[in-house]
Chains A and B, each alone.
Chain A
Amino acid sequence: MVSFILKRIVSGISVLVAISFFTYCLLYFSSTNIARNILGEFASQEQVAAKEVELGLDRPLLVRFFEWAGQAVQGNFGASWFNSEPVIGAITTRLPITLTLVVVAMLCITIVATLLGMAAAIKRGWIDRLVQGAAVLGDAIPDFVLGIVLVAVFAINLHFFPATSSISPDAGMNAWVASMTLPVIALLINGVASVAQQVRSAVIKQMERDYVRTLRSRGIPEWEILFKHVLRSAAPAALTVLSLKFVGMLGGVVIIEQIFALPGMGALAVQSTSMGDIPLVMGVVLYTVVIVIIVNLLVDLINGWLNPKVRVS
């Protein structure tokens, strides 16, 4: 088990290094006009050249990358080129909003989709048709389009929720809930539908397996078969979809935050990339990849715990 975890961590780090390097290369080619952009149109040629030296833009790619990486390993990700805000600080003030959105949405998806999917698989009938229909609908409407519709209907026409909200943590619980509700709904509808569909088919597949019949023949009660045996074997399939949903949501939340004017990571990502603020962009990319790697590691661990065969190999 320990070697299994170690292996995953090593492969996670290799992914992290590869992506950082690739992103850095990509951004290197875009950094030709950065100094001028920072100083403004009226700066002199000398001032621009001095700024380029200050930012290290005159040095070769590899040197710059290793310098950046060396600092990053020590926990220093530099500061924004435009407003000198430290990257770490910029991320930590915005991360809570984004993570709240994503984590709450993922939790809702997991619980609601599992219940719906199991109900659809076991009861069949109308609830099954409902889940299947909803899955198609959920797939058909992109989450940000849903977000726009929600804003237009509930916030602007009906005034149920604030349309835009610049919230702070000390604004009180009610304000938080009010401003988070619509974005979370926009994020989770699509996920609930498609994950429920996955849970449904995984449960149906497991219910048809031979050992379920044998457990019944041994006099094991139906609820125990369902929750202990079937759900456990159906979980890996659902987990895989959930982890993919999670990755997708880290992207989707960028647009959702723009729609609801939430000052989260999305806003930071848009702002830093449109300006070419390399330290900030690198910070945003790294944070995303690290979170994804951690989630994938968790999924692997849960799968290993659920399936003894994986655990052994």
Chain B
Amino acid sequence: MSMIQPDDLVGQTGTVVRSHPVKKILKNPMGLASVVVLLFMVVLAVLANVLAPFDPNFADIGKTLSPGDAVNILGTDSVGRDVWSRLVFGARTTLLSALLCAGVAIAIGLPSGLIAGYYGGKFDGVSNWLVNVLMSLPGIIVLLTVRAAVGPSVWISMVAFGILMAPGYFRLTRTAVQSVRNELYVDAARVAGLSDATILSRHIFSVVRAPIIIQTAVICGVAIAIQSGLEFLGLGDPSVATWGVMLNEGFKNIYLSPVLLVWPVLAIGLTIGALVLLGNAIRDALEDAEKIKAPKRGSNTAQAELATTRHRPERTISATVESGTEHHLVKVSHLGVGYPQADGSIKKVVDDVSFHVDRGEVLGIVGESGSGKSQTAFSILGLLPDNARIVAGSIQFDGKFTVAPTEDRVSQARLSEFRGKRISYIPQEPMSNLDPAFTIGYQLVTPMVRVLKISKAEARQRALKLLDDVGIRFPQKTFDAYPHEVSGGMAQRVLIAGAISCEPDLIIADEPTTALDVTVQADVLDLIRDLQKRLGVGVILVTHNFGVVADLCDRVAVMQNGRLVEDGDVREVLRNPKDPYTQKLLGSMLEGKEPMTMLVSAGMTAAEAAVRDDESDEKELAQ
């Protein structure tokens, strides 16, 4: 919009960073090549009258199947027509028919998709049924039938094919609209009083625009293919020169003059290929813009850099851990975890973190998002993403290294001895951590069968007992249920049952109550506390909630931006925090504060406080 682009702001932060998608397409070699090919075809089509020396249907009977010469540069076909002229005029017909097909498809599919997606209801039902009908029709068969009914015409068959292709646009638009329709920003626009038409054009059309362009490139390619196919069958209009007719002509004379096939095959292949590549290039250009932050995997330079700092692991290392620390259940020493970036550097998310957990002890790791608390927990479990690297430090479990001081990855072979059996995991989001396709019983029984090597019947007995232990009232019913049939709180109990099923020594709980309602959270905290006391396991509890820490933990470690800023006895840290960050976090707690008073902006306006908060955030990130 023009009204808020004052001159003094043009060219500032943001506008410079985002390069236009068209530029990106042209920078991509595939994109550039496809644009060049398509432009060439368009020029042929537009200038056909100038470029072609003959009328496409002018036949020189005396000169059939001749090779190329000065007059007929590409030679002549079996009735003496000039191949070059036919190729050039064919480009016109072919491109126009592809555009016609795409145009018809868009004209039908886009508006109906918008309406069906936005309003739903009866229109949606009817149009979906129609789409299902259209999509179960093989294109060629339909076009053959249409031809039988109305005779051979390039244009009519392309209109018919456009109708057949409309469901593609319809579905694309409908899905996009449905996903956006309930977005909060559309609600905000409704509250502001925007009309449906404005919401559709301003907020919703912008979402479908890009996929529509990509789809159009693909559809044009398909249209050219199908049209050429029809004409190749000899079912086209013989009086119109198209690439398909030329293909037919060439195939008839394949023994006499195979070169006649080469030109139409090249033209069709190049054009369709260019359209497909263009579609891909557009998609890449748009996705690129969305995923600026996504770390590129396997960058060679990054690996090279890693190789120089850390050496390949040696097999014998696991025996010799730091002496005098064997009694700790887990000991993490100077751990660093990082992700290789596209530019070859490594972005550290955990930096020089050390702590230990003893048997029967609960350690809380507290921090805000991006503090590296979950990454630390996952390194102990060996469940970091593939592209993560251990850049420093070591982890030992029960007197053995799981990550030795020189290794740059967690050894899966070594960890699989422990994982599930002696170290187990309680995840954050109960629903997404159960496989929806298997019963709860199956997901409890299988790990016991695999890890404890017990029979299925025995595992089943134990699973039912476990479900009873975690406070589920009807164990058998839950055992037989699928995950979507139980509540979130129940699913979390099931996951806890799974975590203790193989009698672990250490449980790593990653925000185990964050996704739950407060009253359910209190029950689940009670459950974890009881089980921990009864089984005497060590627990690492990752959380952002100091209340949860106070409820469960013996000791606590506070993390900020990948570093451990403070750790110690839970009473000590919560009552007399030493580190300013811990103080700030505890100061942000609302419990015990005088209502309606400022929390952080004493002596200044809230806006100033916000600016200061942003600045300190940026400083921390820059470090």
Contacts and interface: CB of A to CB of B under 8 A. Distances in A.
Interface string B522-563: 000000000000000000000000000000000000000000
Given A218-B447, A221-B450, A233-B437, A255 B229 contact: yes
A258 B433 CA distance: 53
Interface in A29-74: 29-30
- A-side binding surface: helix, strand, loop or mixed? helix
Nearest to A307: B437
A217 B277 contact: no
A28 B251 CA distance: 34
Nearest to A218: B447
A27 B578 CA distance: 87
A308 B381 CA distance: 31
B433 A211 contact: yes
Nearest to A142: B225
B424 A218 contact: yes
Contacts of A288: 137-138, 141
Given A140-B276, A148-B261, A211-B435, A289 B450 contact: no
B232 interface: yes
Nearest to B484: A309
A273 B136 contact: no
B149 A26 contact: yes
Contacts of A307: 436-437
B164 to A, nearest CB: 10
Nearest to B255: A156
Interface in B148-174: 148-151
Contacts of B437: 229, 232-233, 306-308
A195 interface: no
B450 A217 contact: no
Interface in A216-272: 216-221, 224, 229, 232-233, 244, 247-248, 250-252, 254-255, 258-259, 269-270, 272
A103 interface: no
A308 B269 CA distance: 44
Interface in B190-235: 218, 221, 225, 228-229, 232-233, 235
Contact of B229 (A141, A142, A247, A274): A142
B419 A255 contact: no
B229 to A, nearest CB: 5
Contact of A269 (B132, B144, B146): B144
Interface string A138-162: 0111101100110110001000000
A292 B141 CA distance: 13
B482 interface: yes
Contacts of A215: 435
B424 A276 contact: no
A27 B247 CA distance: 29
Given A217-B425, A219-B451, A156 B258 contact: yes
B434 to A, nearest CB: 6
A170 interface: no
A215 B498 CA distance: 10
Contacts of B427: 210, 213-214
Contacts of A219: 416, 419-421, 447, 450-451, 502
A124 B132 CA distance: 36
A136 B141 contact: no
Interface stretch (A15-23, A78-86, A178-186): A15-23
Nearest to A206: B435
A269 B276 contact: no
Contacts of B482: 308-309, 312
Interface residues of B, number: 69
A41 to B, nearest CB: 19
Contact of B133 (A18, A209, A272): A18
A276 B148 contact: yes
Given A142-B228, A148-B251, A217 B383 contact: yes
B495 interface: yes
Nearest to B152: A274
B254 interface: yes
A248 B148 contact: no
Interface in B422-458: 423-425, 427, 429, 432-438, 446-447, 450-451
A67 to B, nearest CB: 20
B133 A217 contact: no
B297 A124 contact: yes
B147 interface: yes
Given A124-B297, A152-B254, A213-B427, A220 B269 contact: no
B232 A255 contact: yes
A151 to B, nearest CB: 7
A267 to B, nearest CB: 10
A175 B150 CA distance: 40
Interface string B230-270: 00110100000000000100010011001001000100110
Contact of B495 (A209, A214, A285, A309): A214
A156 to B, nearest CB: 6
Contact of B221 (A139, A274, A289): A139
Contacts of A23: 145
Nearest to B251: A148
Given A142-B225, A144-B232, A220-B450, A252 B145 contact: no
Contacts of A139: 218, 221, 276
Interface string A291-310: 01100100000000011110
Contacts of B438: 229
A220 B445 CA distance: 11
Chain B CB within 10 Å, residue with most, of A142, A215, A217 = A217
Interface in A91-117: none
A85 B255 CA distance: 34
Contact of B145 (A26, A211, A248, A255): A26
B80 interface: no
A284 interface: yes
Given A26-B145, A285-B145, 9 more contacts: A142-B272, A144-B225, A210-B427, A219-B451, A274-B144, A274-B235, A285-B141, A309-B436, A309-B482
Interface of B: 129, 132-133, 135-141, 144-151, 218, 221, 225, 228-229, 232-233, 235, 247, 251, 254-255, 258, 261, 265, 268-269, 272-273, 276-277, 280, 297-298, 381, 383, 416, 419-421, 423-425, 427, 429, 432-438, 446-447, 450-451, 482, 484, 495, 498, 502
17 contacts: A15-B136, A19-B133, A27-B148, A29-B149, A140-B221, A140-B269, A144-B225, A148-B251, A149-B265, A210-B429, A213-B383, A214-B433, A220-B420, A220-B446, A269-B144, A308-B437, A309-B436
- What are the 9 closest A-B residue pairs judged by CB atoms, nearest first? A219-B420, A251-B138, A140-B273, A251-B140, A217-B425, A142-B225, A218-B447, A273-B148, A273-B144
